[in-house]
Structure 1
Amino acid sequence: MKDGQAAIDKGAAVEAITFYSNLFLKEKVVPPSAPNDSYRQIMEGFRTGQTAMVWHHTGSLIEISAALKPGEQFATAPMPAGPKAHIARVAYAGNGIMKDDNVDAAWDWISFWGEKDAAIALLEATGYFPASTAALDDERIKSNPIYQAASQTLDFGRLPNSFVGAAGWSENVVNPTFQSVLTGQLTPEQAVDRMIEGLEAALR
């Protein structure tokens, strides 16, 4: 933030874009199809052993667990720390009551989802990690090594960027611009200039 507005440190951004794009362009540790891969291709690459590691969240855990044996054929780990910070994204989901209609039933429903048994049932069915601290202390989570990375991430994870225009800027500027670096259409410097221009437009 600069003067109350979202802003980009150009030097740091160029350094970051260079590092991540070089994993593909120079180090060749990313599948050649990466610039055009969607979620489906990324998950299939990991599931079939074409990709050794995938950066994702617990939402893909059930799909991977159905194909590979947890603890034997795959494991989880927290995001590693970089030279300046230890960062990972967390996005908390919650329920809310928007209308007074059937408010007692709505409150009963929300209260039910706040119980640890319900939160863990949701985790086991979908892979989505519970936000309930009571659920985190439950042995079904504490004793399962596959969940430990998610528990550890809660200590340093950050909420995603949140400002008016953030979603559109990310989807329509940041992602396609980074893709253009991977395909050789833009340099990291040109990409960051475009991201800065897009951010300024999004904030108007």
Structure 2
Amino acid sequence: MLLDFVRAHTVLAPVPFIPEIHLRQAEEPIALWEATEAGGAEQPPPFWAFAWAGGQALARHILDEPELVAGRSVLDLATGSGLVAVAAARAGAHPVVANDIDPLSLAAAAANAADNQVAVQTVEADLLDTDDRYGVVLAGDVFYSREMAGRVLPYLRRAAGRGSLVLVGDPGRAYLPEGLVKRAEYDVPVTEALESCTIRRTAVWQVVS
């Protein structure tokens, strides 16, 4: 069972930059990756087991400015651990949808929502060619590869063009596009084994159509 796997390979602990949220996080990144592939099939990296810098900045921003999401429908695109979705729900958003293509990610998001006593819906699908309307679209750390950025940016711009507030958290990944509007910047604690540093300067950007 996916939920059992998530719970067996993570430890529930407060996120240092967002201490009001507890998150299931892996203590050993490489060991976890090996465990996800133990069944023989190639698996995506366990993005769901860590509090990435972009997601932390985005979560901090909406908790500090809850009026951005309160009472509005929210999509957390490529949710990973569900950290941003949980923050949105805590800030008063409803409904909150956590989306990813990795079923382990959605199991982690469901577990983290339950642990933080908030309501989050999970959707396993590639939504990047769809045009569903949400009041707010949130995306943390989505510009880490050329292919991902090339698909995500058009979706985010379309959402902004339909009137959604579209916010992105990013610590200067290689494929962060130009033309975004900076809303905030933070020094975010990160896992040194993943980022080769302990602090990443991370911005929250608004995507405009």
TM-score, structure 1 normalization: 0.28
- Structure-2-length-normalised TM-score: 0.28
Q: Which has the higher strand share?
A: 2
Instruction: Name which structure has the greater RCO, CA cutoff 8 Å, separation 6+.
Output: 1
Q: Which has the higher helix share?
A: 1
